[in-house]
Amino acid sequence: MYIRSMNTSERLVEATRELLWDRGYVGTSPKAIQQRAGAGQGSMYHHFAGKPELALAAIERTAQGMRAAAEATFSGGGPAYDRISAYLLRERDVLRGCPVGRLTMDPDIMADASLRAPVDATIGWLRGRLAEIVEEGVVSGEFAAGLDPVEVASTVVATVQGGYVLARASGSPAAFDAGVRGLLALLRPRAAATS
């Protein structure tokens, strides 16, 4: 149950976020949302036209949270490698998976253009932001001149998302950690690699 100081609308969105992450769209019934939020059916339909509208609000909130957490790491200053490393090594619930990445595996969300849009936009934003940081590293000479920032950014995102899959499959965060360490070894700045 959510904090009673949250208004009903907020409790409904938070409940839906959690349920989508744990159960997916089909497994997130209006009744389950209402129970988790401590809200009645009338309250739910007073604030939202139905499950699709509530799911969209929850997905948008999840996407905003992911962007904010990533940006806090990216805008921390310092060398490009350090910012990418901080992003890769930040605290995560690896066995639970990525709340946005898991949505890409939900066929009902991917089949609905309005529900898919914030997922696609967030992953696109993440790749773009990482590409900017890699470009900074290339320009400053920290990374090799031949690196393609877009390809490296895609590799970072793929490593994180694939790491979640490997960790969940094995039941251990060790697989995620190994993927991150491997990528960081490949990205290690030229000066650090030769010393």
> Closest by alpha carbon to 32, among 51, 46, 60?
51
pLDDT given for residue 194 in this prediction? 46
Task: Assess whether 145 and 180 both reside in one domain.
Answer: yes
Task: Assess whether 130 and 87 both reside in one domain.
Answer: yes
Q: Specify the pTM.
A: 0.89
pLDDT tens per residue, range 134-186: 999 999 999 999 999 999 999 999 999 999 999 999 999 999 999 999 999 99
- Taking the CA of residue 125 as centre, how many other CA atoms within 13 Å lie in the half-sphere pointing to its CB? 17
Check: CB of residue 43 under 8 Å from CB of residue 8.
yes
Q: Which residues contact 90 (CB under 8 A, 6 or more apart)?
A: 69, 73
Maximum Cα interatomic distance, the chain, rounded to a whole number of Å:
66
Cβ neighbours around 117 below 10 Å, total:
14
Task: Assess whether 35 and 94 both reside in one domain.
Answer: no
| Number of domains the chain is built from | 2
Give the domain CATH number at 7. 1.10.10.60
Task: Assess whether 41 and 88 both reside in one domain.
Answer: no
Examine the pLDDT at 79 and tell me if it is beyond 50: yes
Check: CB of residue 38 under 8 Å from CB of residue 1.
yes
Task: Assess whether 89 and 117 both reside in one domain.
Answer: yes
Query: What residue type is 31 in one-letter code?
Result: K
pLDDT above 90 covers a percentage of the chain that reads: 84
Task: Assess whether 91 and 40 both reside in one domain.
Answer: no
> Closest by alpha carbon to 107, among 14, 3, 168, 26?
26
Task: Assess whether 41 and 61 both reside in one domain.
Answer: no
Task: Assess whether 119 and 186 both reside in one domain.
Answer: yes
Average pLDDT, the chain: 92
Give the domain CATH number at 61. 1.10.357.10
Task: Assess whether 75 and 171 both reside in one domain.
Answer: yes
147 token code pair: 């690196």
Task: Assess whether 6 and 98 both reside in one domain.
Answer: no
Domain range spanning residue 177?
57-194
pLDDT tens per residue, range 50-73: 899 999 999 999 999 999 999 999
